[in-house]
Structure 1
């Protein structure tokens, strides 16, 4: 099986700390990446998360899940993970300042093409790029509306 990388980036009109804190809440990711049906941090092991993906594409209902290790983040710079079991993937979200009130968000997802999708592997790259790009657009709107809990 071969690995493919997909990277999308977008400038977002929020301070880097806001974008970083929004993405750091992994359980909120399905709010802007609707093809992810759920992300759950394991209560007894907060460095692990269980991800579920459901999407209809290429005439098939696709469903995959995986357990990921949430790698140590670098505050306001990088959030990254790698799967431990299930769908083989890894990825990173990087944050670059663009002044005091905006930042560049770069999302890279690397994945092993599942056997089921190998006949359409060449179509998968632009499809995934489009899907992730639309997700970043939704993330930009989510981050602009984000209000941290004031306790």
Structure 2
């Protein structure tokens, strides 16, 4: 298995960075190789990727999710992959986004690329694009503020803006997923967002 750890600091509040990460259908806008993400159910996601000309379709599950703290996922079929995106407030308007991805390269090209650090460079580039994306907007495009533990939704949370969508950073076997973490959640929508909409079927953050 290969492991990638990368971080980026973004000039937005932690709730904004986290909320945007729950809008998975926007991932193709700042993640190279992710062509589409589709929500299957509350915690299920379907990924369509194209990395280096290699196209893949696979399903993933959100394993753990704590508002303003972390999102962990794991693949349930296709290539083994998964990981955790965590959010660390550095002040009122600055956040460190940490990404850990665990994946199993398949084929000679992927194994060679991983050995040379190509996967680390790609994740770093994606985080830089996320930074530009969220700082240019200054606010999230939507949010889902529920909690997931052990793959089960603990509460319905709050959806606002464009609503929840789908995911990225390919997800892991349950035994590869990061342990749950306790962190305080911020429940209020961003000040520049409109009134909250009723909870909608959700889609996840990794």
Report the TM-score, using the length of structure 1 for normalisation.
0.86
SS across alignment from 1:66: strand
Give me the whole-angstrom Cα distance separating, in 1, the residues matched to 2:110 and 2:134: 35
Matched, 1:17 2:15: yes
Total equivalences in the alignment: 141
What's the CA shift for 1:117? 3.4
Are the aligned partners of 2:6 and 2:99 in contact in 1 as well (CA < 8 Å)?
A: yes
Higher strand share: 1
Match of 2:57 among 51, 62, 65: 65
2: CA distance between counterparts of 1:147 and 1:135?
17
Q: Which stretches in structure 1 are left out of the alignment for 5+ residues?
A: none
Cα shift at 1:32: 0.7
Distance 1:80-1:10 versus aligned 2 partners, 3 A rule: same
CA distance in 2, matches of 1:119, 1:88: 14
Alpha-carbon distance between aligned partners in 1 of 2:65 and 2:128, rounded to the nearest angstrom: 23
The equivalent position to 2:132 in structure 1, one of 132, 141, 145, is: 141
Contact 2:9 2:95 in 1 (8 A): yes
Aligned partners of 1:66, 1:116: CA distance in 2, in Å? 20
What value does the CA root-mean-square deviation take over the aligned residues? Answer: 1.5
Q: Partners in 2 of 1:71 and 1:111 — Cα distance?
A: 16
Give the aligned partner of residue 131 of structure 1: 122
More helix by percentage: 1
2:19–2:140 Cα contact (<8 Å) kept: no
